[in-house]
Amino acid sequence: MPSTTTPAPAISIRALEKSYKKLSVLRGVDFDVDRGSIFALLGPNGAGKTTIVNILSTLLKADAGAAAVNGFDVASDAAHVRESISLTGQFAAVDEILTGRENLILVARLRHQPDPGGIADGLLERFSLTDAGSRKVATYSGGMRRRLDIAMSLIGQPPVIFLDEPTAGLDPQARLEVWAAVRELARNGTTVLLTTQTLDEAEHLADRIAILNEGRIVVNGTLDELKRLLPPAKVEYVEKQPTLEDVFLALTSDATKELP
In the chain, domain spans: 11-220
Per-residue pLDDT tens digits for 124-163: 998 889 999 999 999 998 888 888 988 898 898 899 999 9
Contact yes or no for 101/93 (Cβ under 8 A): no
State the pairing for strand pair 238-240/233-235: antiparallel
Per-residue pLDDT tens digits for 21-44: 889 999 999 999 999 999 999 988
- Cα–Cα distance between 148 and 163 in angstroms, integer? 13
Percent above pLDDT 70 for the chain: 89
The mean of the pLDDT values for the chain is: 86
Query: In sequence order, what are the residues at sequence separation of 6 or more whose Cβ sits closer than 8 angstroms to the Cβ of residue 40?
Result: 194, 195, 196, 201, 202, 205, 206, 208, 209, 210
Give pTM, 2 decimals: 0.81
Write the class of the CATH domain 11-220. alpha beta
Tell me, what's the pLDDT at 257? 47
Contact yes or no for 104/124 (Cβ under 8 A): yes
Per-residue pLDDT tens digits for 50-99: 999 999 999 999 999 999 999 999 999 999 999 999 988 766 678 899 99
Q: Alpha helices of 167-231 — where are they, by DSSP H? A: 172-187, 199-205, 223-227
- Cα–Cα distance between 222 and 251 in angstroms, integer? 15
Rg (CA), the chain: 20
Query: In sequence order, what are the residues at sequence separation of 6 or more whose Cβ sits closer than 8 angstroms to the Cβ of residue 254?
Result: none
Query: 210: helix, coil or strand?
Result: strand
Residue 251 has pLDDT above 80, yes or no: no
Which DSSP string corresponds to 103-144?
HHHHHHHHTT-S-HHHHHHHHHHHTT-GGGTTSBGGGS-HHH
Contact yes or no for 129/177 (Cβ under 8 A): no
Q: Which of 256, 85, 216, 235 is nearest to 160 (CA)?
A: 85
Q: Which of 158, 145, 165 is nearest to 185 (CA)?
A: 158
